[in-house]
Structures are given as structure tokens and as C-alpha cells.
Amino acid sequence: MTSYRSFLILIILSLTAGGLYGQMQKISGTIVINGVKSSGYQIKVTEADIRNMKKKISTRPDNLGNFYIDAQIGDSLEVYLRGFSKKYVIISSHDHMTVYLDNTILLEEVDINAAINNKTFLKKTAVDYNKQNNIYFGGKPPITLLSPFGGSPITFFRELLGKDGEKVRRFNKYINQQIELEEVDAKFNTQTIKQVVAINDYEINAFKAAYRPTIEDIKKWTNYELYDYIKQSYEDFKKSK
């Protein structure tokens, strides 16, 4: 009887832990600027905007540079400080996090480089998240794992049918969506648009939202075709006002 009770307790604790894992929690963090030439120290940021992209909620740091936001593991935070490129952080644990902004990467100067950096970061985050969950085929195992000669049927079914495999597939899908957004932003951005047309600053956000091209367009267009698209779209934009 004692063994049976112990077994039931273990099951209940496991279910409870699993439920808590997916619940929303208050995540804390600090935002600092790296590479400050004048002092050599890290400067805490108090004026940044932190946004949970999945939950559509935002917050700002307190006077000490610390922020608190409702989030759960797998959520993506967007950190924006005027004059800097946006930084994206994937929540991988409930521990206090430190978000580093590099003062050598300014939005006005290197939109494309910032997008490349974020793309690299997102890919690395996906790889780390897969390893964290002991998933090595992205939740899409090859059929060869079922082979009796050097295969691993247990790995195949765990990745294909297990909860960890399903969780990783969802996470990888989200990462790929973010990478596609970065690829579009790398070419269709404020700097490029202003080089092609004489657009006013107060128009730029509305124009980008209304005429943002798809990832398919960006991949197949030459620079000439992109510039032509921007010119024609801006003409339409002015007529619609």
C-alpha cells in the first residue's frame, strides 16, 4: 500500500510540475549597453521598451535598469532602445536574464547587419532549445531511425509522437517565422526606402506596414526590382492619402 501511495504521489507531482512549466510567470531581467568607450563599464538602460511578441504586452525598466514582464518559456521578447537595432531574446528559463545591447550597432547605420546578427542568434537559440529538450532531429526524425541495423526506433517515436518533439516543432516553426521577418527587414527598411523615394518621417511606418513585401518576393527580387516596387508602392501610397 505504501508503494502504491508513493507511486500516486509521484504521478501527481509530475503532473503539477508539467502544468506549472507551461504557466505564465513574471520574468525579470536587466538591460545593459556594452562597449562604452568613455568608461569601459556596462551602463544599465532605463528607457528601453520590452515587448512580449506572443502575448502582445509591453513594459519598461525601472530606475535600476530592471524589468519584469509576464512570459513563459518559448516566448520571444523584443527589446528596443532609440538609436539601437532591436534585440530579440527567447525565454529559455525562468531565471533572471541580462540583455546586452551593443553601442557599436546603430539602427541608422547597419539595418542589414543587425538583421543578420538577429538571424544568427535565432538559429543558435533554436539549436540550443533542441538540445535542452534532447531533441536532435527537430521533432522530424528520419525514417532510417526505424532500421534494425544501427537505427533507434525509440528516438524516432519520441521525436515524432512525444511532447518534447511536438514542443520543439512549434518552437522551430516560430523561429523560422522570425527569421523570415528578419530577411524582409534586412532589405525593406527605413534606410533603403529613403534612398529610393523622398518619403517623410511621419509617413514611413504607415508605408512599411501597408506595402511590406512577402519573404517570397524578397528572395526572388533583384535590387532593381525591389527599388522599382518601392517607387510604385509609394506612388500608390500618396494617392490613397
Boundaries of every domain in the chain: 24-109, 110-186, 188-241
Please give the class, per CATH, of domain 24-109: mainly beta
pLDDT given for residue 119 in this prediction: 67
pTM (predicted TM-score): 0.43
CA nearest neighbour of 45 among 76, 83, 77:
83
Q: Which of 41-45, 55-59, 124-128 has maximum average pLDDT?
A: 55-59
Beta bridge partners of 226: none
pLDDT given for residue 102 in this prediction: 67
pLDDT given for residue 235 in this prediction: 92
pLDDT given for residue 208 in this prediction: 87
pLDDT confidence tier of residue 48, bands split at 50, 70 and 90 = confident
Q: Is the pLDDT of residue 86 over 50?
A: yes
Please answer whether residues 93 and 60 qualify as being in contact, where contact means their C-beta atoms are separated by less than 8 angstroms.
no
Share of residues in the chain with pLDDT > 70 (%): 77
Please answer whether residues 185 and 212 qualify as being in contact, where contact means their C-beta atoms are separated by less than 8 angstroms.
no
How far is it, in rounded angstroms, from Cα 24 to Cα 51? 15
SS3 state of residue 231: helix
Please answer whether residues 172 and 164 qualify as being in contact, where contact means their C-beta atoms are separated by less than 8 angstroms.
no
Q: Is the pLDDT of residue 80 over 90?
A: no
**Per-residue pLDDT tens for 116-138?**
556 677 777 777 878 888 887 88
Mean pLDDT score, 7-26: 51
DSSP letters, 116-162, are HHHHHHHHHHHHHHHHHTT-SSTT---GGGG-TTT--HHHHHHHHHS
Please answer whether residues 67 and 31 qualify as being in contact, where contact means their C-beta atoms are separated by less than 8 angstroms.
yes
pLDDT confidence tier of residue 217, bands split at 50, 70 and 90 = very high
pLDDT confidence tier of residue 111, bands split at 50, 70 and 90 = very low
